[in-house]
Structure 1
């Protein structure tokens, strides 16, 4: 079962959604058969690499939100994050364009380190006030993950993985995704937002049952047509609403 998650590093609900999804996945009996792929999305691709102002300034000026409304939103989201064991510090968030960070995620994915990179980027951005647009920071993060120094330098001297990021964003648009986080299971089921863990659990179970339907077989190991039609009571040694077979 494959789960694709469209998400932005600069999205506070995306980190909360990641934690809630992970809680559900950890309890899922078939978790070892689940492949998770992080897909890129940008909430504001127009941001410069570095924005001279706080997160509150950014949302109140560029998004037209009243400062009091922004502060109230910060308190609510921080409380939700705390419930998932996360310590958001909106006063320390460095506002920056996330495009290069997404390119780093694709590089990390090529080396099996995507989830670790995603976790670090989200934590560093919302909990530790790191600049996700900084070459120095992204290089250090990549080295911490064991990525090659030459590959990391290439992120800043070429457009490596830029098309991968753009393709993810274009695919999100084609799927009708207009907000993140957004979870797509086997390209059949979609969940929008940082849903409660129980909702993720129900979706995982439903998707698993859909892709692994129960197949009824006869005594000789062949598929029984009557069972496939739902007439289970006709099978040998079974009971139904009308009684038991003999």
Structure 2
């Protein structure tokens, strides 16, 4: 098979590694990390890429994305099948399993996640992958420092209780791809500074490897031409159905 792979920059190293080991020809296109914050725009971008896929050249499109703020909700297959992991977000892809994601999320929902590609491709900042929280606490703090000075920023954050309100743990996911020592150090420093628990967690590339190998079983949704994705609101995360509407608009 020849696969057209659309993936997020946050998983760049892993995608390239799995593509290199795939038995199939895999053409990789990476999408900007920042599109995660604009799910409507990300959905539109992915749909355009799917629509432009040449069925004479490709056998299928594979998306290295999860539901990702419902950015993949309502995506439609046109001329070739589209395979998507049943994942809430990229954390599931890093951990390799929906059940494992659910377990670690239930242990501590307020977790900041650190991974090599995400930190590197955010221009070396300490911005991390938060779970279920839209506001980036680092950016809030930096904005306060710029506007009011460090002492006032520290006071405002303490009064707001923002550091502790949502997050209590910093986790570095070690995928074994690339040198993660610097990112792990940053995660540990952030945890110490904010009074969080620091944890190093082993990643698992199995979902992405199977996606790019064409091993699409119950852990994947495979849209046939004329089908679209729907949210199931259960452990299955998403499913497919016959297209019932036009593609989603630019809105979230």
Task: Give the TM-score taking structure 1 as reference length.
Answer: 0.23
- Greater Cα radius of gyration, structure 1 or 2: 1
More helix by share: 1
